[in-house]
């Protein structure tokens, strides 16, 4: 490692005169004078400020240069209060800094400032600007664009009672873990939200159950039928499902089936409705439509992640729980998101118009 190091900073890092000498030692690569120790089982290091206090930092590399990222001051040896070390058991040990290999970062902004999501991330100017935009906001980006990091950071900065919702149980659990200090946020899958309103544990039909049902009814185009049931026959925010006449009257581009096939499709759909009732299952679109009047307006903000996976009625159902209709943030994948369908619903509802749409491919640190 080179003798001199560049400095970078955690966003909330607060410097003061007491830290000046220690920081100068670190910048010069004089780890001995800074009385630096590595904290085992972590990528963190501490330097001695005075008898009671320690300076916590880590190393990152960017474009073949090593950066010392100053994180926080640990007062009175109270490591348990550190936002970075909570729950980690460690010992302090010496380390050969000449052999240290810092984690690689793909981006550092001009302010040399990092945030911490589940990793250290340096936001671009565009990403920082997105954090300052007030809802309603639609944030669109492709996979790996940094969109998720912006959404999570914005989520953590919201005040009041907040709902974070996704169709993915994994995504909900992972985001909840990252935001574990944010006690004002409810993390729910859409099925969780439905069951809260219904106040009972009904079970949603999944594709596996639908597949078994479809095979019994001699349906060969199973995936196509599933998509037609979930995205065409149901899913509109105006009613639970289309009548037979409404379905048959759809235009060519409004259905996955040609007009000659729709009579049979609707017959199967009617059998599907009977199957749901008989097995005490629910279709999320249909149940959401019937429960709209029962939704409690309890949230100051709502964040819907991977919004492209939701139907209009599912989105509308969640929006009903907002105290103020415009306080929502949608995040979607640019490769799959279709704005036109959602826009029709939102702009027909006057209070949901004037949405800020950001669609840059943000890049940030991958450390």
Model confidence, pTM: 0.85
pLDDT in tens, 212-232: 999 999 999 999 999 999 999
Tell me the mean pLDDT in the region 18-26.
95
Query: Would you say residue 95 has pLDDT above 70?
Result: yes
Summary mean pLDDT of the chain: 89
Among 354, 342, 350, 337, which Cα is nearest to 135's? Answer: 354
Query: Would you say residue 249 has pLDDT above 50?
Result: yes
Q: Which residues contact 107 (CB under 8 A, 6 or more apart)?
A: 62, 122, 124, 363, 364, 365
Structure token pair of residue 317 = 């159902």
pLDDT in tens, 175-219: 999 998 899 999 999 999 988 877 666 688 999 999 999 999 999
What does the alpha-carbon distance between residue 77 and residue 54 come to, in Å, rounded to a whole number?
A: 7
Q: pLDDT-derived band of residue 367, with 50, 70 and 90 as boundaries?
A: very low
End-to-end CA distance of the chain: 19
The reported pLDDT for the residue numbered 67 is 95
Query: Would you say residue 149 has pLDDT above 50?
Result: yes
Per the model's pLDDT, the better-predicted residue between 270 and 361 turns out to be 270
The reported pLDDT for the residue numbered 45 is 96
What does the alpha-carbon distance between residue 122 and residue 116 come to, in Å, rounded to a whole number?
A: 9
Q: What is the share, in percent, of the chain residues with pLDDT greater than 70?
A: 92
């Amino acid at each position: 490692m080179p003798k001199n190091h560049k400095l970078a900073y955690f966003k909330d890092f607060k410097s003061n005169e007491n830290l000046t000498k220690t920081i100068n030692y670190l910048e010069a690569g004089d780890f001995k004078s800074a009385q630096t120790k590595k904290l085992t089982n972590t990528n963190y290091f501490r330097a001695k400020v005075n008898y009671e206090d320690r300076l916590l930092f880590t190393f990152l590399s960017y474009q073949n240069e090593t950066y010392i990222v100053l994180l926080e001051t640990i007062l009175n040896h109270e490591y348990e209060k550190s936002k970075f070390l909570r729950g980690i058991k460690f010992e302090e040990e010496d380390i050969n800094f000449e052999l240290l290999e810092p984690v690689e970062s793909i981006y550092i902004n001009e302010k040399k400032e990092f945030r911490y999501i589940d990793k250290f991330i340096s936001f671009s100017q565009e990403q920082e600007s997105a954090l300052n935009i007030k809802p309603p906001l639609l944030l669109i980006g492709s996979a790996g664009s940094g969109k998720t990091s912006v959404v999570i950071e914005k989520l953590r900065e919201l005040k009041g009672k907040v709902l974070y919702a996704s169709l993915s149980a994994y995504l909900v659990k992972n985001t909840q873990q990252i935001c574990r200090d944010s006690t004002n946020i409810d993390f729910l899958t859409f099925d969780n939200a439905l069951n809260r309103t219904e106040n009972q544990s009904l079970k949603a039909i999944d594709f596996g159950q639908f597949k078994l049902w479809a095979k019994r009814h001699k349906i060969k185009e199973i995936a196509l039928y599933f998509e037609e049931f979930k995205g065409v026959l149901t899913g509109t925010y105006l009613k639970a499902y289309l009548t037979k006449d409404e379905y048959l009257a759809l235009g060519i581009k409004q259905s996955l089936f040609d007009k000659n096939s729709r009579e049979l499709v609707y017959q199967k759909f009617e059998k599907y409705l009977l199957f749901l009732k008989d097995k005490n299952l629910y279709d999320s679109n249909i149940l959401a439509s019937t429960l709209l009047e029962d939704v409690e307006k309890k949230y100051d903000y709502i964040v819907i992640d991977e919004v492209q996976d939701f139907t209009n009625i599912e989105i509308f159902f969640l929006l009903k729980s907002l105290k103020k209709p415009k306080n929502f943030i949608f995040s979607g994948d640019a490769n799959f998101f279709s704005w036109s369908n959602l826009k029709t619903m939102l702009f027909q509802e006057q209070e949901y118009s004037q949405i800020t749409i950001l669609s840059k491919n943000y890049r940030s640190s991958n450390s």
